């Protein structure tokens, strides 16, 4: 009972799904690294660093993601095209493709949104635990990597699940700059089969499944990653 168009365009749709997942994975991992740096900068004692990172999060969270994508893709893209050095370089074929622009825009966006979340988590780690870490002779860097950050992340897992779902939904904007992601593939099918909405319904279902999958993964991580406290 599967409609013929699904079978005919199955490989295109699957490739779209792969693109969506690839964008999601790359930008969540790279964005997470940026987010930790942004969070550390936000709580830095150096005023200049703290202000700069506050400005970055404020602007990124205060403007629509779509317009940021346009600024990177059309704005910077047309700027790059004016330099023969860049045009002639080895990277040019990659720099014309929308793919890396959407990844870049999403990394920046995750850096700002999740950075703010991680900042809250870092501030929520009890002071006594940090003091205990330094009493054990850990350097500030060790205390951060072994105590403060892991503790904050465990507190934040439910929030991070929500942010990852938001990121999944943001990847759909890739289709606006001619990247064939899941939504882009549906749009191709629509254009070629003249079906108004059926392909959209199909990929909407896929997005819902992906959302449940992300939530299940985070729930699993929460159960596995949270050690049971035993009294000594």
What is the binding site for another protein (CB under 8 A)? 59, 62-68, 70-71, 74-79, 165, 168-173, 175-176, 183, 196-197, 200-201, 203-204, 207-208, 211-212
- Supply the minimum distance, in Å, between the C-beta of residue 170 and another protein: 8
Q: How many residues does the chain have?
A: 232
| Residue nearer to another protein on the CB measure, 149 or 182 | 182
| Residue nearer to another protein on the CB measure, 46 or 82 | 82
- Supply the minimum distance, in Å, between the C-beta of residue 85 and another protein: 19
- Supply the minimum distance, in Å, between the C-beta of residue 221 and another protein: 19
| Residue nearer to another protein on the CB measure, 27 or 170 | 170
| Residue nearer to another protein on the CB measure, 153 or 206 | 206
- Supply the minimum distance, in Å, between the C-beta of residue 125 and another protein: 19
């Amino acid at each position: 009972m599967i409609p013929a168009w699904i079978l005919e365009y199955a490989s295109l749709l699957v490739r779209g799904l792969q693109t969506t997942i690839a964008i999601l994975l790359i930008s969540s991992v790279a964005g997470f690294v940026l987010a930790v740096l942004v969070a550390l900068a936000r709580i830095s004692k150096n005023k200049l660093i703290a202000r700069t990172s506050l400005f970055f999060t404020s602007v990124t969270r205060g403007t629509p993601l779509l317009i940021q994508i346009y600024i990177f893709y059309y704005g910077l893209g047309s700027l790059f095209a004016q330099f023969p050095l860049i045009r002639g370089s080895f990277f040019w074929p990659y720099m014309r493709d929308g793919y890396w622009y959407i990844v870049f825009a999403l990394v920046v966006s995750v850096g700002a949104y999740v950075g703010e979340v991680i900042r809250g988590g870092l501030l929520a780690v009890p002071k006594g635990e940090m003091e205990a870490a330094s009493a054990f002779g850990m350097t500030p860097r060790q205390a951060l990597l072994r105590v403060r950050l892991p503790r904050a992340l465990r507190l934040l897992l439910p929030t991070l699940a929500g942010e990852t779902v938001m990121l999944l939904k943001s990847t759909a904007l890739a289709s606006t700059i001619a990247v064939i992601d899941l939504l882009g593939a549906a749009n191709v099918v629509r254009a070629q089969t003249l079906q108004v909405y059926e392909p959209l319904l199909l990929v909407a279902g896929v997005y819902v499944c992906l959302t449940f999958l992300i939530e299940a993964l985070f729930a699993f991580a929460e159960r596995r990653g949270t050690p049971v406290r035993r009294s000594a």
